Amino acid sequence: MTKQHSKDTAGNNMSEHDETTASNATAGEDEATAQGEAYRSGFVAVVGRPNVGKSTLINALLGTQIAIASSRPETTRKAIRGILTTPNAQLVLVDTPGIHRPRTLLGQRLNDVVDESLSDVDEIAFLLPADQEIGAGDRRILSRLRGQFGVERDDGGIKWKVPMIAIVTKIDTLGPQQLVSKLIEIDEFADSTALVPVSALDRDNLDEVRQVLIDHMAEGPQMYPDDQISEESPEDTIAELVRGAFLEELDDELPHSLAVVVDSIEYPDSPEARLGVAADGKAHVIVSIYVERDSQKPIIIGHRAEHLVRVRKCLRTPVNRIVGQKSRLDMQVKVAKGWQSDPKQLEKLGF
């Protein structure tokens, strides 16, 4: 179910990365050409207020987890790029932190990440949840998008410089009549290029979301190999997996006080490998888990290290897959006092 308006684009705003790869012929482009289709590619900023399902939708579209999907708000802390490749298109889905009123320096820097992500995109996916009323956060985001990407028409509507797709998430929470009313409400609110409903958890209408995003993308070259699904390094991916596992393990006790850094990945055959690594034949993933206060360390560790044990067991298979062999997750819990509002600590932790 989609609402198609006239497609207003600002042309193909290619980044430096696009320009350096434009001359590379790819199998995907060749297949699209053979079928008489124009190949489409570009960057899609996935925006919305916290906890509207941005990460869940991106993971569902890619068919694998690259971003933490959690019921807790402000889970995403960086712009994570997932690469969706089809025979006729390649979309780079940029999962952004939820736009919110910052309470700490970390919160402000998360909003800065969103600003940077929006600075050079070819398409916007604005997520609004079906199970919640349109609120001040949604209005603030729409105002921001209109100011940056919209031009007011004579009739009072908005002409978008890049396609702005309104995606109504969590439609499984509404009955048919409620859903129709919600779609009409959001259609009138957003004045978007297209409107599409989806339930990422139930995989309902995922194909339609994918097609709408492709149909409204400008023509462009394939930028990444067919099998690449993320721009993230192994260290960054593992750090996010560890943080996500602790968020689920700890319920609501420490969602914002927790930061994770992978210090190193030591392979048995590397010159830097320690004796213990070579002895057990596994790659050792050295992880530091930071909290803000000494009193929070026991919460992370748990009685008889039960939380560490469960997280290690939960992540054994995905970490093995990322490093390409059997591995051991070595985790140390450390204190970085008040790191969310300390510029030096934030820089150390990668923010």
Identity (one letter) of the amino acid at 103? R
pLDDT in tens, 325-336: 999 999 999 988
Rg (alpha carbons) of the chain, rounded to whole number: 22
Closest C-alpha among 154, 161, 150 to residue 190: 150
DSSP summary character for residue 253: S
- Tokens 């748990």, residue? 302
Separation of alpha carbons 126 and 94, rounded Å: 12
pLDDT in tens, 40-85: 999 999 998 877 888 889 989 998 877 655 555 455 555 678 899 9
pLDDT in tens, 213-258: 999 999 999 999 998 888 778 888 898 888 888 877 776 555 567 8
Phi-psi category of residue 335: left, alpha or beta, with phi > 0 → left and psi -120 to 50 → alpha = beta
CB within 8 Å of 190: residues ≥ 6 apart: 126, 128, 142, 164, 166
**Strand bridging mode 164-169 / 123-129:** parallel
- Tokens 């990945």, residue? 265
Task: Please report the sign of the dihedral spanned by the C-alpha atoms of residue 113, residue 118, residue 121, residue 127.
Answer: positive
Strand partners, 58: none
Separation of alpha carbons 64 and 75, rounded Å: 18
Separation of alpha carbons 295 and 134, rounded Å: 39
The beta-strand segments (E) located in 211-313 are 259-266, 283-291
Confidence of residue 22 (pLDDT cuts 50, 70, 90): very low
Confidence of residue 14 (pLDDT cuts 50, 70, 90): very low
Q: What's this model's pTM, rounded to 2 decimal places?
A: 0.68
Separation of alpha carbons 47 and 123, rounded Å: 11
**Strand bridging mode 194-197 / 164-169:** parallel
Confidence of residue 116 (pLDDT cuts 50, 70, 90): low
CB within 8 Å of 128: residues ≥ 6 apart: 48, 52, 134, 138, 166, 167, 168, 169, 186, 189, 190
Task: Give the H or E element holding residue 204.
Answer: none
Separation of alpha carbons 209 and 165, rounded Å: 9
Q: Is 119 exposed, middle or buried (0-12, 13-18, 19+ CB in 10 A)?
A: exposed
Helix 136-149 × helix 176-190 angle, to 10°: 40
Separation of alpha carbons 156 and 203, rounded Å: 36
Q: Assess contact for 285 and 262: CB atoms under 8 A.
A: yes
First to last CA, the chain: 39
Q: Assess contact for 98 and 76: CB atoms under 8 A.
A: yes
Q: Which residue has the higher pLDDT, 275 or 213?
A: 213
Separation of alpha carbons 165 and 3, rounded Å: 10
Give the Cβ contact number of residue 89 at 10 Å: 25
Closest C-alpha among 79, 57, 81, 80 to residue 69: 57
Residue 5 has pLDDT above 50, yes or no: no
pLDDT in tens, 86-102: 999 999 998 775 554 55
pLDDT in tens, 142-178: 998 998 899 988 887 889 999 999 999 999 999 999 9
pLDDT for residue 9 = 32
